[in-house]
Amino acid sequence: MALRNYETVFILTPVMSEEDVKTSVDKFKKILTDNGAEIIHVDNWGLRKFAYPIDKKNSGFYTVVEFLAKPESIKTLETEYKRDERVLRHIVIALDKHAVVYNEKKRNKIKQQNAAQ
């Protein structure tokens, strides 16, 4: 079965240290790679304030991961999200060809800005 493009966004509880957040992100990346996925890009948005409270919390650590995976590996990832009490919210999105092109342009623009500095 062919690999498809996906993007996942997950929000971790704000009562974690930066090291704990990194460990959690690495855990989810490992789950993906152990199931045959290829990580394309990881974007840590950091601590963001919510529009409304989630589980009595007003903020959380956002992370976006773009990856290539087999469709059946998504179920494993979502199960792990649900088992981890540090994950407040999560979503996995299948990307169409337009979203893949958009993400690639966005990454290239960021690379150019970083090179210019």
Domain ranges of the chain: 4-116
d(CA 48, CA 114): 23
Which CATH entry fits the domain spanning 4-116: 3.30.70.60, 3.30.70.1400, 3.40.50.10140, 3.30.2350.10?
A: 3.30.70.60
The vertex-96 CA angle with 100 and 94, nearest 5°, equals: 100
The reply to whether the predicted model has a pTM over 0.75 is yes
Give mean pLDDT, residues 14-34: 94
Give mean pLDDT, residues 56-65: 96
pLDDT band at 1 (very low <50, low <70, confident <90, very high): low
Determine which helix (DSSP H) or strand (DSSP E) holds 107, and give its type and residue range.
Answer: helix 97-116
